[in-house]
Amino acid sequence: MLFGCLTAIFLGGSSTIGSSQLGYEIGFSGFWFVFAMGVGITIFGLCFLNRILNMEVITISELLSKLYGSKVRMIGAIVTAIYTLMMSVTQVIAIGSLVSVIFHWNIHTAILVGGSIVFIYTILGGMWTLSITDFIQFAVMTAGMFLIMLPISIHSVGGVDELFKALPSGHLDFMNIGMNEIFNYFVTYTLGVMVGQDIWQRFFTGKTKSIARVSGILVGVYSVLYSLVMVTIGMCAYVLFPNIQNTQNVFMHIAFETLPPGLLGVVLAALAAAIMSTASGTLLASSTIISNDILKPICFKDIDDTSFLKLTRLTTLCLAIITILIASLIKEVLVAIDIAYAILTGGIFIPVILGLFIKWITKRAAFFAILVSIFTVFLCLIIIGPGSNITIIYAIILNAVTLFGVSYYDHNLQKKNDF
């Protein structure tokens, strides 16, 4: 069940719609997008989960608090909340795209209706409800993509041999996008999911550490298969419909054009399942962080469990409204996910991971490192725009330099004072 829930939370609209879009545009080299995320989840489960579980925390911000104090907890909570909120935005955009194609609505109406459905059951249900629905959605998603969409897509182009003959040579090359872009995927997504609150919350629901580790490994294997399936569907769409203008709608286009009634419904349900499971999980993660790490310490220190539950649900409702509004403005899945991971990876990856192993990093160093890197991310997003690997690389380098530089200065200052 944990394997299904973990898979459902990270394989959402961006992984499904985005991977088929990349398969259409660049072929097999679009494989690295989802695979990089799966690698991150597996590494986290094998290398870091045990240490984090021993610290008895439920959010990344709580971990930062234990490592560096309350100020770093607060800024870490803000960064993580922004990331999880932007991940919810990507899924709302994806479900809006799906609904708009099915019912021929404009994208704003589709985002409002589709997003509202997901967020209502998230607010009412909580983590246990999401775990059950995520597992069911994982089963639907797997059956729809692997057993229906892939075979029919390949059959529609005349088989695998005909598909390969009809594609440009670049589409068959896994390295077509170049090592620089592949490196960008791993820096952005592998490092990002390792410090993703949505991923952590699912790992924490494992009954034992062994179950959690094995689930992480299975997610890595599944990500390889799922990524190959989605880029192959995208390549089939390229052969059948080479002139699609809005490539974000590649998956829906080939589904509507190749699937008979009945099977089309199953596949659209599979796509909806992929999107909804991630949207609900990321929204709940963002709400948990804001309620537990920002509102509770500042405004509700003595709140009881029943009142805290009401506070979390109210926070979830407010975030759901904000998510729908942002999704209506951005309207591009891959743009939104680039922004989300740039903020997360650039902002807190280095302090979280190094803080688990290096004890001499100071509180002041961690605070300024996060502050400098977040400023760098937003500055680069404004100047360069989303989608550039330079943004995250700059942020990580400045984060590490600030972390070590300020820590070194603080220790030297302490030595002088002691002397």
| Interval 190-205: pLDDT, tens | 888 888 877 887 888 8
Give the C-alpha separation, 271 to 15, whole Å: 10
As a whole number, the mean pLDDT across the chain is 85
**Residue that has been written with the tokens 């993703």 in this structure:** 196
Q: Check: CB of residue 351 under 8 Å from CB of residue 381.
A: no
| pTM of the predicted model as reported, rounded to 2 decimal places | 0.79
DSSP annotation of 12: S
| Interval 61-110: pLDDT, tens | 888 888 898 888 888 888 888 888 887 887 888 888 888 888 888 888 98
| Confidence grade of residue 365 (pLDDT, cut at 50, 70, 90) | very high
Confidence (pLDDT) at 418? 66
Non-local (6+) Cβ contacts of 328 within 8 A are 107, 108, 111, 112
| Interval 34-65: pLDDT, tens | 999 889 989 988 888 888 888 888 788 888 88
- Choose between 29 and 185: higher pLDDT: 29
| Interval 215-233: pLDDT, tens | 989 988 999 999 999 999 9
Confidence (pLDDT) at 332? 62
Give mean pLDDT, residues 333-340.
Answer: 67
Give the C-alpha separation, 135 to 166, whole Å: 37
Q: Helix H segments across 55-106?
A: 60-68, 70-103
Q: Quick one: residue 386, left, alpha or beta (phi over 0 = left, psi -120 to 50 = alpha)?
A: beta
